[in-house]
Amino acid sequence: MPSKPESPSRRVFLRQSLTAVPAVTLLGPGALAAPTAAAAPTAAAADYAPRYFTQPEWDFIKAAVDRLIPSDADGPGAVELGVPEFLDREMEGAYGHGGYWYMQGPFVPDTPPTLGYQLRYTPREFYRAGIAAVDAWCKGQHGKHFAELTPEQRDDVLHQLEKNQIQLKDVPAGMFFSQLLTNTKEGYFSDPMYGGNKQMGSWKLIGFPGARADFADWSEQPGKPYPFGPASIRGDKT
Amino acid sequence: MTRMKPVDVVIVGFGWTGAILGMELAEEGVNVLALERGSYQDTSPDWIYPNIADELAYGIRGKLFQPLSRETVTIRHALSETAVPYRQYGSFLFGNNVGGAGTHWNGQHYRPSPEDMAFESHIRQRYGAKFMPSDMQIQDYGVSYDELEPFLDQFEYLCGTSGQAGNLNGTIQDGGNPFEGVRKRAYPNPPVATTYGAQLFADAAKSLGHHPFPQPASNASRPYTNPYGVRLGPCNLCGYCERFGCYMYSKASPQTTILPVLMRRSNFELRTNSHVIKVNLDSTGKKATGVTYIDAQGREVEQPADLVIVAAFQMHNVRLMLLSGIGTPYDPNTGKGVIGKNYAYQMMSSMSLFFDQDTHINPFIGAGAGGSQIVDEFNSDHFDHGPYGFVGGAYILGGQTGGRPIQQLAVPPGTPGWGSAWKRAARDSYRHTLSMQTHGSVMAYRDRYLDLDPTYKDAYGQPLLRITFDWHDNEYKMSRYVTDRMLEIAGALNPKPKQQSVTIRQSGDHYDIRQYQTTHTTGGVIMGKDPQTSALNRFQQSWDVPNVFVTGASAFPQNLGYNPTGLIGGLTYWAAKAIRETYLKNPGPMVQS
């Protein structure tokens, strides 16, 4: 019968968390709101060799997520935090292979959108087909692949995909954009152990404490700024 | 086919109602076998800290959800359309493994209002039969609130529910819900501490003359030992409730309230990885002989039993009844037949309110239910509907269940969905956003129902369940009315938000399965007073095959404005008492048709 909810690892974690309290408190709540871009590493994706994406696809992914969540003076962007690595790892897992989805036919892709995803692509197939289609469109339109376009041109292509204004071969543009944006935000905000959100950069940016998951005392201090930086599942803290 | 040794009782599905009936009937001394298609899971090692604090694995990919790759449902909006599969999770979430959806619920634990239990009679008496549209086919449960009260209470004391009584033996209590039915004793635990956002909401509601109260929470506010002797720990508002198991042993689930005792009983057996495909009937079709299931190795196994309890999730109960040929399938053209009838859902609207940088809402400090505040003035029939032309209602909630950033981060209206402007808005909004929502009822209609899909099949080759559902005018009107009341509360907030966004389903909007709404799907094997119009009698016993009972929200004749788990638990204890004291002594119909 459960009577002692704390596991040893939790006790260790809490002890470690507590040792961090004085230093954080000295900085005061304003420290959380400060831009963190200066302290963040750059080009985190450079060290990672993709397993699923081919080189042209990898170039596309980096060029696309860099515009979806850019690095700027406000804080780190998707490339900086390793979102391309996250995406590549997802493609190799059960999710990428469509393991979470019902994938039996018949498929009726022209179903009203309110009835949900009805394509026969698994996520990894969807990315492969979608990237090829966007690159082909860019080649036809601009004479260059997507990754070779200027940031402004890439933004323009992404806007057109989002609004479903581009006819792509075999891929509904809006759905492909939506898939890419959804997964990019997942990689940006999920625990760093999945490859994105390196050094918990996105959590620091918004002020999410991550896996601290213990607010017994803070629930009784309504309206006070929360002073502690984030913790990850593997126990990293800032 | 392998044939197993007969048992007295077989239970199909091992979530909340399966665990309650397993416990209650094992106490009666009969041999009870529960069949669960998933595997075993418990607080430790499955939901330990910090592994559980993983939004991607649990909240987004759905580690505790039933894999749709093996079995899903199909959906269409109207009778004339072809249904397509629910291929990815969106609108509602099925459970999986021991505990089912009872492991990843939020702990929002309500009782029905007294009028909810006899809703058709109540509406007809107060407003006249013509007040209801001709295609609305709402019904009474056949059991009254007063009859059910001791069992609603029993489930609250099992769960260690935290809350403030509103109506104790007929005396209205300060700080509780003045609209609730009479309760004979207070909640077993005091409310969980109110979060800051919820307090702002409650203050605003009070200034308008409403009676906000702490949401009843099966997130224990203090250490608690329930009547079975199982101990729950205090909730620390960690923000990982819905979609997660509770590492603090605070959120009531079968694991934290029943299983530590039940699993030790010698006359109880749990068989996991056992997927029931059919309830077997004898040659008369009036008596169940047991069930057939597919075991972990893929073999078909026959399990004889004297009593069969169908205790899976609402939709799975309906599907198993249809696959087994128990009762007459509902026909939406004639209105005849009962299995699949009166499928209903719930209608929500929501708001995000964005404050300046000095107002720290801290959304990550949250519990599934604890810490939120509720206004119930516009739910059920708590107000005169006469001038408004709809029936039903919604409660209004202010507060937060957690601030997990992939799913729960909101940005102000007009913000682009990506790029630098989105990122800046995410940074500036995250800690300063208050959420409100309305949680509303959906009535039953002639053309909204469940049957077997003619095309799509599960991993075992059996037809999927088909949902035919879309919103009706009554619900658009209900949602508009209660959302306007929520907007009034938002207008009375102090400090004032800088911006706000509202999500509401407008007249003509189709049901959108891509957006999570609630997992509170109901109906299909409904209880009632008449075998012509219901599948089960007032004790949740099949009219057609009296040694089959069906438990869960499949029994609701229409959907109420509250979260269903409190009523599901109460009805299950009500049925358990009838089985223990009446049925087992004299097996057969407990209500003469």
- Of A68, A118, A224, nearest to B360 by CB-CB distance is A224
The amino acid at B59 = G
**Distance from C-alpha of A116 to C-alpha of A111, rounded to nearest angstrom:** 8
Q: Chain B: nearest CA to A144, how far in angstroms?
A: 22
* Interchain proximity A206–B195, CB inside 8 Å: no
Strands (E), B36-190: 73-76, 84-85, 167-168, 171-172
Residue A1 and residue B50: Cβ atoms within 8 Å?
no
Query: Are the Cβ atoms of A208 and B239 closer than 8 angstroms?
Result: no
Query: For residue A40, is pLDDT > 50?
Result: no
Among A81-85, A223-227, B96-100, the minimum mean pLDDT is found in A223-227
Does residue A36 or residue B62 have the better pLDDT?
B62
A37, pLDDT greater than 60 = no
- B289: helix, coil or strand? strand
Alpha helices in A20-164 (DSSP H): 21-27, 30-33, 55-68, 83-92, 123-142, 151-162
Asked whether residue B226 is domain-assigned, the answer is: yes
In a domain, residue B495? The reply is yes
Pair B229, B37: CB distance under 8 Å = no
Q: What is the pLDDT of residue A47?
A: 81
Residue ranges of A 145-164 with Cβ closer than 8 A to chain B: 155, 158, 162
Residues of B in contact with A101 (CB under 8 A): 68-69, 87-88
Chain B environment of A115 (Cβ under 8 Å):
75-77, 84, 513
C-alpha B43/C-alpha B51 separation (Å) is 12
B591 domain-assigned: no
**Residue B159 included in any domain:** yes
**Chain B contact set for A2 (CB, 8 A):** 43-44, 230-231, 233, 249, 256, 260
Mean pLDDT value across residues A169-187: 97
Provide the pLDDT for residue A32: 37
C-alpha to C-alpha distances, A38 to A56, A231, B419, nearest whole angstrom: 30, 20, 19
Tens-place pLDDT, residues B562-588: 999 999 999 999 999 999 999 999 999
Looking at residue A222, what is its pLDDT? Answer: 85
pTM of the model: 0.94
Q: What is the pLDDT of residue B87?
A: 98
CB–CB contact B193 A214 (8 Å): no
The answer to whether residue B592 is domain-embedded is no
Pairwise CA distance, residues B278 & B291, whole Å: 6
Secondary structure (H, E, C), B206-243: HHCCCCCEECCECECCCCEECCCCCEECCCCCECCCCC
Strand partners, B108: B217
Residues near A44 by beta carbon (within 8 Å), at least 6 away in sequence: A79, A80, A81, A82, A85, A198
Q: Do A186 and B88 touch (CB under 8 A)?
A: no
B361 lies in a domain? yes
What digits encode the pLDDT tens for the residues B128-167? 999 999 999 999 999 999 999 999 999 999 999 999 999 9
Task: Enter the tokens of residue B518.
Answer: 């609630």
Question: Which of A106, A215, A222 is closest, CB to CB, to B238?
Answer: A215
User: Could you say which of B104, B109, B316, B520 is catalytic?
Assistant: B520
Nearest CA in chain A to B65: A100
Q: What angle do CA B504, B510, B516 make, to 5 degrees?
A: 60
State the smallest CA–CA distance between residue B527 and chain A in angstroms. Answer: 30
pLDDT band at A46 (very low <50, low <70, confident <90, very high): low
E-assigned strands of B391-519?
394-398, 433-440, 449-457, 463-468, 499-503
The token pair at B354 is 């964005």
**Position A23 confidence tier, pLDDT thresholds 50, 70, 90:** very low
Cβ-Cβ contacts under 8 Å, B199 against chain A: 222
| pLDDT at position A13 | 39
Q: Using CA atoms, how far apart are residues B72 and B91, in angstroms rounded to an integer?
A: 13
A111 contacts in B (CB within 8 Å)?
A: 84
- For residue B256, what are the CA distances in angstroms to A62, A163, B102, B161? 46, 48, 10, 13
**What average pLDDT does the segment A222-232 reach?**
94
Say if B588 falls within a structural domain: no
| Element at B473 (helix H, strand E) | helix B473-491
Q: What is the pLDDT of residue A4?
A: 40
Q: Tell me: the pLDDT tens digits for B233-255?
A: 999 999 999 999 999 999 999 99
CA distance B573 to B10: 17
Judging by DSSP bridges, how do beta strands B347-354 and B433-440 pair with one another? antiparallel
Residue of A nearest to B71 (CA): A102
Quick one: tokens of B444?
A: 């039953």
Hey, how many other C-beta atoms are within 10 angstroms of the C-beta on B130?
8
CA-CA distance, B177 to B216, in Å (whole number)?
Answer: 10
In a mutagenesis test of the B interface, which of A91, A190, A197 is the best target, namely the one with the most B β-carbons within 10 Å?
A190
* Ordered DSSP codes for B169-208: TTEE-TTS-TTSPPBSS--SBPPPPPPHHHHHHHHHHHHT
pLDDT above 70 coverage of chain B, percent = 100
Tell me which residue in A114, A158, A208 faces B405 most closely, judged by beta carbons. Answer: A208
Range of the structural domain that residue B103 is part of = 2-583
- Most B CBs within 10 Å: which of A156, A215, A218, A224, as the mutation test of the B interface? A215
Report the gap between the CA of A9 and the closest CA in chain B (Å).
8
Instruction: Identify the H or E element spanning B277.
Output: strand B275-281
Q: How far does the CA of residue B289 sit from the closest CA of chain A (Å)?
A: 33
Spatial contact of B485 and B379, defined as CB atoms under 8 Å apart: no
Residues of chain A in contact with residue B84, where contact means CB-CB under 8 angstroms, are 108, 111, 115-116, 118
Bond from prior residue into B45 cis (ω within 30 degrees of 0): yes
Task: Please tell me the predicted confidence (pLDDT) of residue B92.
Answer: 98
Check CB contact under 8 Å for A101 and B68: yes
Nearest Cα to B490, choosing from B478, B476, B504?
B504
Over residues B319-330, mean pLDDT: 98
Q: What tokens does A144 get?
A: 């260059």
String of DSSP letters for B488-542: HHHHT-SSPPSEEEEE---TTPPP-TTS---S--EEES-B-S-TTT-SB-TTSBB
Tell which residue, B89, B554, B568, B108, has the closest CA to residue B319.
B554
Which residues, 6 or more positions from A46, have their beta carbon under 8 angstroms from its beta carbon?
none
Q: Angle at CA B137, nearest 5°, toward B136 and B139?
A: 135
**pLDDT value for A216:** 86
- Could you say which DSSP state residue A170 is in? S
Q: Name the residue among B82, B89, B71 with its Cα closest to residue B457.
A: B71
Contact B351, B502 (CB under 8 A): yes
| Mean pLDDT, residues A11-20 | 38
Phi/psi at B203 (5° precision): -60, -40
From A14's Cα to the closest Cα of chain B, the distance in A is: 11
A110 touches B: beta carbon within 8 Å: no
Are residues B362 and A190, on separate chains, in Cβ contact within 8 Å? no
| Count of structural domains, chain B | 1
Q: Between A and B, how many CB-CB pairs are < 8 A?
A: 215
CA atoms within 13 A on the CB side of A30: 2
Are B181 and B131 in contact, with CB atoms under 8 Å apart? no
What residue in A sits closest to B74 (Cα-Cα)? Answer: A115
Question: Between A102, A208, A213, which is nearest B240 by CB?
Answer: A213
Classify B411 as helix, strand or coil.
coil
Nearest to B49 among A1, A7, A155 (CB): A7
Contact: B456, A104; criterion CB under 8 Å: yes
Query: Looking at the partner chain, which of B199, B420, B427 has a beta carbon nearest the beta carbon of A206?
Result: B427
Domain of residue B35, CATH code = 3.50.50.60
Residue labelled with tokens 């249904």: B83
Whole-number pLDDT of residue A17: 39
E strand intervals along B312-380: 341-344, 347-354, 373-375
Is the pLDDT score of B11 beyond 90?
yes
Largest CA distance in chain B: 73
Smallest Cα distance from B231 to chain A, Å: 6
Amino acid present at A128: R
Q: Is B510 a catalytic residue?
A: no
Asked if A77 and B362 come within 8 Å (Cβ–Cβ), the reply is no
| DSSP character string of A117-129 | ---S--HHHHHHH
* Reported ipTM exceeds the 0.90 cut: yes
Q: What is the pLDDT of residue A219?
A: 76
Q: Is A100 on the interface with B (CB under 8 A)?
A: yes
Q: CA of B562 to nearest chain A CA: how many angstroms apart?
A: 25
Residue B589 lies in a domain: no
State the pLDDT at residue B204.
98
Give me the amino acid identity at B536: L
- Encode pLDDT of B100-139 as tens digits: 999 999 999 999 999 999 999 999 999 999 999 999 999 9
CA–CA dist B494, B492 (Å, integer): 7
pLDDT per position as a tens digit, B427-453:
999 999 999 999 999 999 999 999 999
